[in-house]
Each structure stands twice: as structure tokens, then as C-alpha cells.
Amino acid sequence: METEVEKIYRNYSSIDKIIDEKIASNLQEKSFYVVDMLDIYKKHLRWLQVLPRVRPFYAVKCNNLPEIVAFLASLGTCFDCASKQEIDQVLACGVDPANIIYANPCKTKYFIKHAKSVGVDLMTFDNELELHKIAQINPGARLVLRIKGNERTSRCKFNIKFGADLDICYDLLKVAKQLDLNVVGVSFHNGSDCEEADAYHQSIAACKAVFTMGKELGHDMTILDIGGGFPGDDRARVSFEELAATINSALDSFFPPGCGVDIIAEPGRYYVASSMTLATMVIAKRVQYDEKLGHDGYMYYLNDGVYGAFNNVIFEHGIPTPQLLDERTRSKRKLRSTVMWGPTCDSIDCIRRDFTFPELQVGEWVIFKNMGAYSCCVATTFNGFERATVIIAEKPFD
């Protein structure tokens, strides 16, 4: 019997078709994204099936395209916001303030006041001075203590900036009690693209210890936030299912069903990384002799670069994987030593260097998949180059 997703997919325009049609009509030689909403929908269903006890709070910072945020809101997803602007964007989609966590441990006073005024009272902290600030502005807030996660194998790490060490948690909880503040839970973040499933077991075990501290001091501990770090595409060394199996086992051990604890998470790239495909054009080409290989190599200049869609090369140590517009032609082309540059007049603007790729011609289009996380939302217009345009494929429910 045909599943609901299969019914939707049967009537869904292919991303390849949308790209072909856009290129055929693209007279401005601009790069562009295509957003696959069906991919996001399938990710949501996958989450509900694989992590049934964990409510997802989408991390808006990962990709704040209005269409994506509104679509996730329509699916009943909750949200992790880090600023006034993100909170307002989510509220404008009709999201209940109770379904938002203000998950920035270090907040401006004005933003705390604003969160209070719109009914967002769940927020994180990781140090004593933040407690005093909150006590002054919103003493009725529900607080979540963020501890350092196990990010040993993660690609992007956060402990250097956020998270309390375990040995100071008791004192922080004690100060919160003295200030008559409500600490309701504990959170951690194991860093982006965590490659060790057991890291979640260790971090959840640490949260259990902090829960015990909080209860001893009289705090009503009811929320566990296991953060983000979940893979967003199939290139990850550890699959989402592997991480989920370890998480579910740890939750059953330390926070079993019926314990009265609401378990949430802050997935970002998990939801959107594989949903966006970027199309770029070769605007220039140079021949450069490769002494190591003993033959000519090619340097290509694309109409997007690290100041735009490929900023993840700098900020996340990303390694973009180009594809030919028509992969069927790959076997007919010579493989050459390749460097791909962005369009700006800055030598930092290098997308990828020293790899082998089929020879390209000026005017040819190159495709990059898995470009939905921390790409368009961080892009700049440095050197006067415009950001890539965005094409939204029709929503699954349209």
C-alpha cells in the first residue's frame, strides 16, 4: 500500500527539473538554491519515529528562511531561538510562546525584557552573573542550566564559549535558589556533527547528576535538553539512527518513561542540511601546470564563494562536494587537478583546492547538494556580489 509520503512524492516536481528550468531562463548568471520542502517533511517524520520521547526545538540560527520556519511551525515543531529577532520571527508564525526556548546562555538585558513581554519564559544560563541579570529583569523565568557537553569528536565545538563545568553546578544552583529563581532543567550541546554516539550517553549521565543536585536544593527539575549536533545528511560518519539508539538507551537508563521529565532537543542541520541544493556557474577558468602530477590542472572561478553560500568552508571546516549538472557525462571527460575559487578579489575566497574533478568549461553549471545548514543565513554581499537567490519547491501539502 502506498504510504502518505509516497503519495506526496508522486505529485512532487523533481529538484533536478526545477534546476534545469531555472538555468534555461537564468540571464543574470547568478547562483541560486532550490529548497526541497519534502526533504524537511521526511526528516520530521523520521525524528518522530526514531526519537519518539524527544520533542524537537528547531534551531532557527541554522537556517532562518521564512518559508522553512513557517513550514516547520505548521508541522507543530517547537523552536530554539537565540535573539529577539528570532523569537519575533517564530511568534509571527503563530507559535505558542510555551514552545520556544531562549537558548542563549548570555543575553542582553533588552532581549530578556522582550522575551518576558511576549511570554517566552524558558531560557538557559551557565554562569552566576547571568543569574543576577535574570533575577533583576525576569525573576519568574524558568531556567535551564547549560553544562559542557562531550564534544571531543565534534567538528564544531562550543565548550570554549558556553557551558558550566560540573564542579561548579552545585554552587550555581545554590545561588539560583538564594535568588529565588526557578531552575527547571539541564541542557548540553555536544557540538556540531558529533561523531561519537557514546558522547550523548556520557552527557546525559552528567545531566542526571546535575538533576540530583538541583532536587537536593529544592529545584523542580522537569526538563532535559539534549541540544543538537545531529547529522543532516548521509555523509556523516555516525548515522542519525546510531546516535538515536544510544540516546534512547541513555534516556531509558537515567530518565525512564514516567519519571516526569520533559525531554527536548535543538536540532538545526538535521532538519535542513540536505534540503537545499546550490547551483553555481563557472564564470572564468585558468590553466595551471601541476608539477606533482606532471600535467595541466585547472582553476575555476564560480559565481559564489566563501563570502556567500560557501561560508561553511571557513566557519565549519566544510568540504563542498561539486557535481556535474549532468553526471552522465562524467565518464566522457578527463579528470584534472582542480581548484575552485569564489568570485571576489580575495585569495581567502577559495571553495576547494587540490582535488580531482572532470574538466569544466566557462558558462557551465556545477551543483552542490547538502547546502541547507549555515549557508544562506550567514552569506554576505562582500565585494558587491549578491547573495544566491532562493527557489522554494512547492510544499508537500499544497
Give the active site residues.
345
Buried b (16+ CB within 10 A) or exposed e, 65-98: beebbbbbbebebbbbbbbbebbebbbeeebeee
Report the C-alpha gap between 203 and 209 in whole angstroms. Answer: 10
Report the C-alpha gap between 280 and 365 in whole angstroms. Answer: 6
Among 190, 246, 233, smallest CA distance to 54 is for 246
Other CB atoms within a 10 A radius of the CB of residue 120 amount to 27
- Do the beta carbons of residue 280 and residue 31 sit within 8 Å? yes
Report the C-alpha gap between 294 and 28 in whole angstroms. Answer: 37
Report the C-alpha gap between 181 and 173 in whole angstroms. Answer: 9
* 283 Ramachandran zone, left/alpha/beta (phi>0; psi -120 to 50): alpha
Buried b (16+ CB within 10 A) or exposed e, 150-182: bbebbebebbeebbbeeeebbebbbbbeeeebe
Report the C-alpha gap between 341 and 353 in whole angstroms. Answer: 8
